[in-house]
Structure 1
Amino acid sequence: MKLTLRLGKRLNRSWQVDAMLMLLLGVFGAFMAIPLIYVINNAFKPLDELFIFPPKLFVRNPTFENFGDLLQVMKGSWVPFSRYIFNTFFITAAGTAGHILLASAAAYPLAKHKFRGHKVLFTIIVLSLMFSPHVTAIPNYMIMSSIGWIDSYKALIIPAFAFPLGLYLMKQFMEQIPDALLEAAKIDGASEYRIFWQIVMPLVKPAWLTLLILMMQMLWGADGGSFIYSEQLKTMHFAMGQIIQGGIARAGAGAAVAVVVMIVPIVTFLLSQSSVIQTMASSGMKD
């Protein structure tokens, strides 16, 4: 089997190599899909199957009783469950939209305007990626307490605006935009705001769609237990966590909870996966 690589020509492979690669990717894909398959099957297992040891991957006698139990638990809550859903959607939507706008607006001058101190500022941003959220939890709480944002939506939404990974991603992607394109727009009389909204943002659409998925995942799974104490302001993830902690009697409802919580992030990823792949494939490219 011979592989030849010529300048300016495509790498030629035999069909045997392609088949081996597809088989290998299929094996790894199936292996990574096992946790997802297991969680989905658990949601339809009766209680006796949930406690079988060793656990079974696929359900034998599927039932919808777990989802019925989940609905009964929701109805028994003294705060309407629709309130938890609204809180989660509002925090996720506001935090994600605000972060994408702020990260994009901050990344543009860092990527395309060489002002004094821009290298130092970018170095600080990169260093901030090294800090785990657990390390900054206490300082964040002290700041939120001092400005009076404890027990409010702002305690979860505003810190999401400053998530450093989004700024780093947008800056690196904007650097790939040819400077000649922006200079041509300036010669035609376009302002910086018009260049940003009508040229830069459409060109970096794969990047901010990727950021959309990352932020939705982070905020959708946030319970806000450290900052929010009022029951009417708590998120769906917090309410679901209380259901899971109900013991053996709620094991079925807890299995249904796992599926309900992961539906939105999975659907969002499926709708944007082509842009995510394009982002990863384009990273590191220069004009």
Structure 2
Amino acid sequence: MRVRKGFHIRFGKLHIKISTSRVLVYLFVLAFVCFTALPLVYVICTAFKPLDELLRFPPQFFVKNPTLNNFRDLLFATGSSSVPFLRYVVNSVFVSVVTVLLTIFVSSIGAYSLVKLDLPCKNLIFSVIVATLMFPTTLNTIPNYLVVNNLGLMDTYWALIIPKVAGSFGFFFVKQFCDQLPNALLEAARLDGANEWQIFSKIVFPFMKPACSTLVVFSFTASWNDSFAPMVYITDTSMRTLPLAVSSIGSGAALTRAGAMAAATLITLLPTIIIYTLMQRRVIATMAHSGIK
């Protein structure tokens, strides 16, 4: 006689059976999630701690008397700079939003043109684009700097936007969806008198929306969290973005500014967490559908 081990749960007529091995797996996953979430929970608690709790020894993990003073102090805690913290927020929002919009437009229309239009040497062009994916981003730092400097774009938003829009990952990612679009559908639209822009805006782009929505997450996260490009292309303090603002707030008396730095870190983390939480199902579905894992 075979004895099956596990837990049996009854809710009226509903009978649920859970094996012991599955319970152990769930407990392990839960413990792992709690462990990985500890840094985020600590940042949240520190951001709402008053000064007396920040200076208390031994330090306490959780906050007892939450306050918003740390967020208010961000208007003044800008290191040696007189630039308001909100200026850094505006810089990051503008750069990230424009980067996302241009990346979606350039990647989608470029993929459509190269895949569905009869262009000369399009296989060679695609091979060159794919070849650039093999090189690390830091290898392009000097060429990008020379191009940006020669165009006179130093200390401008475009110095942070154009190099990211010109990246090849977005084009390669959207192309996987464009390859699956039936050519017969496009030919039928041309026979009905539609021009290429109408075909792209009414047929192709709606078909590529799942890929574009996933590209929004990747592009926004890369632009929002980028601290390397502002250090290379930006010398004007008022043009810097949030990642550099966090490091400047933490300079000097780090202990007394720990609350303000935690508040700035929380503000920096929230947009990416919210965007990925809202779109995680679409990201996973798109990655599985396109065959990229």
Q: Give the TM-score normalised by the residue count of structure 1.
A: 0.80
Structural RMSD (CA): 3.1
Are 2:235 and 1:244 equivalent residues in the alignment? no
Q: Secondary structure at the match of 2:154?
A: coil
8 Å CA contact 1:84, 1:233 repeated in 2: yes
Q: 2:62 matched to which residue of 1?
A: 59
The partner residue of 2:231 within 225, 228, 233 is 225
Higher mean alpha-carbon deviation, 163-172 vs 14-23, is at 14-23
Tell me what 1:88 maps to. 92
Question: Is 1:97 aligned to 2:104, yes or no?
Answer: no
Question: For residue 189 of structure 1, what is the amino acid of its counterpart?
Answer: G
Cα distance in structure 2, aligned partners of 1:51 and 1:208: 49
Are positions 1:185 and 2:211 aligned together?
A: no
**Are positions 1:274 and 2:274 aligned together?**
no
- Quote the Cα distance in structure 2 between the aligned partners of 1:70 and 1:50: 24
The amino acid across from 1:215 in the alignment is S
The alpha carbon displacement at 1:157 in A equals 1.4
After TM superposition, the structure 1 = structure 2 runs for residues 48-197 of structure 1, keeping only pairs within 5 Å, are 48=55, 52=59, 58-61=61-64, 63-64=66-67, 65-73=69-77, 78-113=82-117, 115-197=119-201
Counterpart Cα distance in 2 of 1:190 and 1:19? 59
- More moved, 248-257 vs 189-198: 248-257
Corresponding residue SS for 1:73: coil
**Equivalent AA in structure 1 for residue 169 of structure 2:** L
Q: Which runs of 5+ in 2 are unaligned?
A: 3-15
Please say if residues 87 and 233 of structure 1, whose CA atoms lie closer than 8 Å, have aligned partners that are also in contact. Answer: yes
Cα deviation, 1:118-149, whole Å, max 9, x if unaligned, reads 22222221221222222211221122222211
Which amino acid is 1:79 matched to? V
SS at 1:249 equivalent? coil
Correspondence for 1:20: 22
Q: Name 2:6's counterpart in structure 1.
A: none
Distance in 2 between residues matched to 1:19 and 1:26, nearest whole Å: 14
Aligned-pair CA distance for 1:98 = 1.0
Counterpart-to-counterpart distance in 1, 2:115 and 2:19: 41
SS of the residue aligned with 1:151?
A: coil
1:9 aligned partner = none
For 1:10, the equivalent position in structure 2 comes to none
Q: Give the number of the structure whose residues are more often strand, by fraction.
A: 2
Gaps of 5+ in 1: 2-13
CA 116–37 in structure 1, closer or farther in 2 if over 3 Å, else same? same
Shift in alpha-carbon separation, 1:113–1:27, aligned structure 2, 3 A:
farther
- 1-side partners of 2:244 and 2:255: how far apart? 19
Provide closer, same or farther for how the CA distance between residues 228 and 205 of structure 1 changes in structure 2, counting only shifts above 3 A. Answer: same
The number of aligned residues is 269
Native 8 Å contact 2:55 2:255 kept in 1: no
Percent identity between the aligned chains? 37
Separation in 2, partners of 1:113, 1:258: 46
Residue 93 of structure 1 deviates from its aligned partner by 1.5
CA distance in 1, matches of 2:70, 2:146: 41
Residue 6 of structure 1 corresponds to which residue in structure 2? Answer: none
Which segment drifts farther, 98-107 or 112-121? 112-121
Which sits farther off after the overlay, 68-77 or 186-195?
68-77
Q: Is the 8 A contact 1:69 1:252 kept in 2?
A: no
Q: What residue is the counterpart of 1:216 in the other structure?
A: 220
CA 28–124 in structure 1, closer or farther in 2 if over 3 Å, else same: farther
- Higher mean C-alpha displacement, 25-34 vs 63-72: 25-34
Q: Deviations over 1:38-73 (max 9, x none)?
A: 433343353247974xxx7x5153532543443442
- Give yes or no for contact 2:217–2:276 (8 Å, CA) kept in 1: yes
Moved more, 17-26 or 275-284: 17-26
Greater C-alpha Rg: 2
1:32 to 1:201, Cα distance in 2 relative to 1, 3 A: farther
Q: Where does residue 259 of structure 1 map in the other structure?
A: 266
**Alpha-carbon distance between aligned partners in 1 of 2:140 and 2:106, rounded to the nearest angstrom:** 21
